Amino acid sequence: MKATKKNLEKYWKQNLKYLVILLTIWFIVSFGFGILFADQLNQIRVGGFKLGFWFAQQGSIYSFVILIFAYVWMMNRLDKKFDVDEK
């Protein structure tokens, strides 16, 4: 796609959409699972872990790593699609 003004607006809107999705997950795995719903999740056990505790001290961090790499992958694809990537 050519980098016209209209396309650049579309590119930006799509980028914002990605951000909303990824940041919602970011919020849920840390503030949600790790804090707000930790007590309820602690009723569930996985091996030696209570699930809420596991999210607070392990799971949220793994999720953060995955979120950034998902973002990198999505944006690289989007940059190419709208022809705004760096040569």
Partner 1 sequence: MDVQTWTYIIVIATFIIYIGIAIWSRAHSTGDFYIAGGGVPPLANGMATAADWMSAASFISMAGLISFMGYSGSVYLMGWTGGYVLLALLLAPYLRKFGKFTVPDFVGERYYSNVARTVAVLCALFVSFTYVAGQMRGVGVVFSRFLEVPVNYGVVIGMFIVFFYAVLGGMKGITYTQVAQYCILIFAFMVPAIYISIMMTNNPIPQLGFGGTLSDGTFLLDKLDGLHEELGFAPYTEGRKSTIDMLFITMALMVGTAGLPHVIVRFFTVPKVKHARLSAGYALIFIAILYTTAPTIAAFARTNLINTVNNASYDQLPGWFNKWEMTGLIEFDDKNQDGKVQYVADAEKNELTIDQDIMVLANPEIAKLPNWVTALVAAGGLAAALSTAAGLLLVISASISHDLIKKQLKPDISEKGELIVARVSAGLAVVLAGHFGVNPPDYVAATVAFAFGLAASSFFPIIVLGIFSKRMNKEGAIAGMITGLLFTSGYIIFFKFVDPEANIPDNWLFGISPEGIGSVGMILNFLVAWVVMSFTPKPPKEIRKMVEHIRYPRGAQEAHEIEM
**Site string (46-75) toward partner 1, x via CB under 8 A:** xxxxx--xx-xxx-xxx-xx-xxx-xx--x
- Single out the residue of 80, 60, 82, 62 nearest to residue 72, CA to CA: 80
Helix (H) or strand (E) holding 80: helix 60-81
CB of 29 to partner 1, least distance (A): 9
CB of 35 to partner 1, least distance (A): 5
N-terminal to C-terminal alpha carbon distance within the chain: 15
Residue for token pair 């995955």: 66
CB of 28 to partner 1, least distance (A): 12
Asked if 21 interacts with partner 1 (CB under 8 A), we say no
